[in-house]
Amino acid sequence: MANGVKKANGHRPSGLLHLLDPSLRLAPHPRQEDVDFELDKALSTVFRLSSHVPEEAFSAQTLGTEREGNAVVIGDNGLLLTIGYLVVDADEITLHGAGGRSFGAELLGYNHETGFAVIRALEEPGVMPLPRGNSHALAEHEKVIIAPYGGTDHSIAGTVVSRREFAGSWEYLLDHAIFTAPIHPNWSGAALINDKGHLVGLGSLWVNDAKAGEQDSPGNMFVPIDLLEPILDDLITTGFAKAEPRPWLGMYTSEAMKRLFVSGVIPDGPADVAGIESGDLVTGVDNHPVESLGEMYRHIWSQGTAGAEVLLNIHRNGGDMDIKVVSDSRYRFMQQRRQH
């Protein structure tokens, strides 16, 4: 089968400016008189990032071959942080800075569990790193700056509207994600900066329910920066976190009305090989009923590490069945696809 999923999900890099109501583009810009740090200096640490991915790559059909977003300078020797889906499988990464300056970068490490990727610029960026703060202490109603590349004219003064669990259809779970408003159309890899001028999150998604329990509440989801600290050295030195990889099924799942529907499977992935089909209703994991993505993922991951057998309780065409899926490591599967 060809690379890609049998049904793609909506996870994609930034690019909603043309879809947004014009009033959302008039959100207030940050001002130096409102902060106690050097605003321009902090914003200068964010670079525009573009990447090219081969058509045959594992992620090309879901995320495209040309991707654009942002990366933030976080360390010496050209160390930058970006969101993983911008650079995973990329064979070319370019950073763009002030004055039309452009230079290449290389991927050092990627971590699916957080979504972070660490890259190194092939030239000195010429700016001091943005200090990393304490995202755990970031509370609802706090003022923040949402900062992609472009300085104050492209940044907005926002607010943390929710701190809660986020579960993505692509086997992804954050316990304490950061949700902000108003929505920023250039969210991918954007810096979330607190009132001390510290990096506390990295832009990942746009959502319609930034405020908990409100479906008509557009905003952005940021990955807390605290998740980087335990894995940063591993990403730099080995490319991956040291922890044993979780069981991965290669399955996209949608949640609605406390029901979990399979929305797609990756061809030749564990779920596909086991016979899971788009439209299947997942009612349980190893005979434990599940009603949310978070519940489902935690039960799957409790079965052990990658390679563990996972029993899915499935409802299909009016009947119930149990399907045993032999899980794999997402990273091993991606590497195999690259070799082909």
pLDDT at 3 over 60: no
Residue range 121-144, pLDDT digits in tens:
999 999 999 999 999 999 999 999
Q: What is the pLDDT of residue 82?
A: 98
**Rounded Cα distance, 314 and 319, in Å:** 8
Residue 84 has pLDDT above 80, yes or no: yes
Place of tokens 């994600």: 177
Decide if 5 contacts 265 (C-beta within 8 A): yes
Q: Decide if 43 contacts 98 (C-beta within 8 A).
A: no
pLDDT over 90 percentage in the chain: 84
Closest CA to 35 of 226, 153, 198, 203: 198
The stretch 68-95 carries a mean pLDDT of 97
Record the pTM.
0.91
The contacts of residue 151 (CB under 8 Å, 6+ apart) are 40, 43, 44
What gap in Å lies between CA 264 and CA 9, rounded to an integer? Answer: 8
Average pLDDT of the chain? Answer: 91
203: pLDDT strictly greater than 90: yes
273-331 residue pLDDT tens: 999 999 999 999 999 999 999 999 999 999 999 999 999 999 999 999 999 999 999 99
- Asked if residue 6 has pLDDT above 60, the reply is no
- Residue 19 reports pLDDT greater than 90: no
Write out the H or E segment, with its range, that includes residue 270.
helix 270-274
pLDDT recorded at residue 24: 44
Comparing CA positions, the residue from 29, 13, 6, 82 lying closest to residue 220 is: 13
pLDDT for 5 equals 39
Domain parsing of the chain, residue ranges: 1-243, 251-339
CATH fold for the domain made of 251-339: Pdz3 Domain (2.30.42)
Q: Quick one: pLDDT at residue 151?
A: 96
pLDDT band at residue 199 under the 50/70/90 scheme: very high
191's tokens: 């810096």
Tokens 């763009």, located at residue: 96
Say whether 251-339 and 1-243 share the same fold: no
CATH number (1.20.1630.10, 3.40.50.720, 3.50.50.60, 2.40.10.120) of 1-243 reads 2.40.10.120
Pick from 156, 128, 170: which is nearest to 255 by CA?
A: 170
Query: What confidence tier does 339 reach under pLDDT thresholds 50, 70, 90?
Result: low
The pLDDT of residue 213: 81
